[in-house]
Amino acid sequence: MINKKVKLEDVVNVISKTYQFKDSEPVIFINTGDISEGKFLHSNRSYPSSLPGQAKKSIKKGDILFSEIRPANKRYALVDFDADNYVVSTKLMVLRPKDNIDPQYLYIWLTMPSTLQNFQMIAESRSGTFPQITFDAIKNEEIPYPSLPEQHRIANILSSFDNKIELLKKENNTLEDIAQSIFKEWFIKYNFPNKDGKPYRDNNGKMIDSELGLIPEGWRVGKLGEFGKIVCGKTPSKNVSEYFNGIYPFIKIPDMQNMFIMRSEDSLTDLGAKQLSGKLLPSGSICVSCIATIGKVSITTQDSFTNQQINTIIPKEGTLEYLYFTLSNMKGYLEQIGNRGSTTFNINTNMFATLDVLIPEHNVLRIFNQICDKIFIKTAANNKVLSNLDQQKNISLYKLIN
């Protein structure tokens, strides 16, 4: 237990310094959408004349960027690079650790789930359309404050978890990229191996007309519902607490972040599950977000339920891998048909079930799924390790910092 605590304002300076632009000097602009959970997703190199009005704040290596809007959205990052030509949005809080605190330790505390939840509550208590915080609103929050050597030790322990987690995530991304590349080569370019083992289309394989354009001879266009059972999710009454906090994952769109859904924020009890007759999804079902946020695709890893914003296909044997990539590559099309002039994008269950889908020749489909099955098994195994590491990190976090 760490007995000593200090206020946030005692260990950080909030930076509002305006970036000093030089004529024709290219700068890199970082907005709230450019960072997420410690990562810099992308940035825009530009000249001052083409930058938006909110591009104002200077940053440097060691600063912590933290979105003032909706803190629970996890828009934060530690600047671990030289950032002399970076300028960030006024919507990002720039926190600069003082010499009396380890920057990594401070960053860990700021991004703890309990800290984020507290900041979100503070933001929601303030007036305005969007939950928002300012430094003045959080400057008196107290941080557990061990000695600097102890801060370094804690930061190193928790960073080791992050390093392992990052390596596994990179491996999963590589595995999915490999499978995606094979899918595109076989089912978009139509260069699957012909009877001689050579690329089909590049070696004058016969193509025929279809509703989806030219496709290989022997293939056809069918409907998504031909590949399995379609299920639209539903939410049991939130007024009955006995329906929730049980053993069944209750999947919502924010839970669909990766290929496999390893956990969900909410869950249902047996009593809650009984309210959703016919809605149970076995492991290996493919969930697709179809309301508001369109086109996210993830696979269940245990018996689960979803809310009504998600349509799911329970695929026939031997079709999981092909369907996953088929649906993942339809995001743009799904957004197009979901936008029918209403304020909220929506693809209903009938539209989902009757989506035009390419049905390849059986042997090509079988070989593709055999190849990708090994990739999916390895990815799922990595995700279990990731889930365990995340749990161990949270336990260590609680023991070391609280």
**pLDDT single digits (tens) 355-399:** 999 999 999 999 999 999 999 999 999 999 998 998 899 899 888
DSSP string spanning 177-245?
Answer: HHHHHHHHHHHTS---B-TTSSBTGGGT--EE--TTS-EETT-EEEEGGGGEEEEE-----TT-GGGEE
CATH for 5-145 (3.40.640.10, 3.40.50.720, 3.90.220.20, 1.20.1600.10): 3.90.220.20
Name the least confident of 19-28, 127-136, 223-232, 315-324: 127-136
> CB count, 10 Å around CB of 233?
23
The reported pTM is 0.80
Mean pLDDT of 200-218: 96
CATH homologous superfamily, domain 220-359: DNA methylase specificity domains (3.90.220.20)
Residue 343, pLDDT > 70, answer: no
Distance CA 34, CA 307 (A): 29
Residue 337 is predicted with a pLDDT of 87
3-state secondary structure of 52: coil
Task: Answer yes or no: are the C-beta atoms of 211 and 219 closer than 8 Å.
Answer: no
What is the residue-averaged pLDDT of the chain? 92
Mean pLDDT of 84-94: 91
Mean pLDDT of 181-199: 96
Residue 342 is predicted with a pLDDT of 61
- The single-letter DSSP state of residue 10 is G
Q: Which pLDDT band holds residue 189 (cuts at 50, 70, 90)? A: very high
Q: In sequence order, what are the residues at sequence separation of 6 or more whose Cβ sits closer than 8 angstroms to the Cβ of residue 284?
A: 299, 300, 314, 315, 320
Residue 288, pLDDT > 60, answer: yes
Structure tokens at 68: 């003032």
3-state secondary structure of 292: coil
Mean pLDDT of 205-232: 96
Residue 86, pLDDT > 80, answer: yes
Residue 200 is predicted with a pLDDT of 97
CATH 3.90.220.20 residue ranges for the chain: 5-145, 220-359
3-state secondary structure of 25: coil
Residue 39 is predicted with a pLDDT of 87
Residue 96, pLDDT > 90, answer: yes
Residue 97 is predicted with a pLDDT of 95
Mean pLDDT of 120-127: 82
Q: Which pLDDT band holds residue 44 (cuts at 50, 70, 90)? A: confident
Q: Which pLDDT band holds residue 196 (cuts at 50, 70, 90)? A: very high
Residues paired with 385 in a beta bridge: none
Mean pLDDT of 175-187: 97
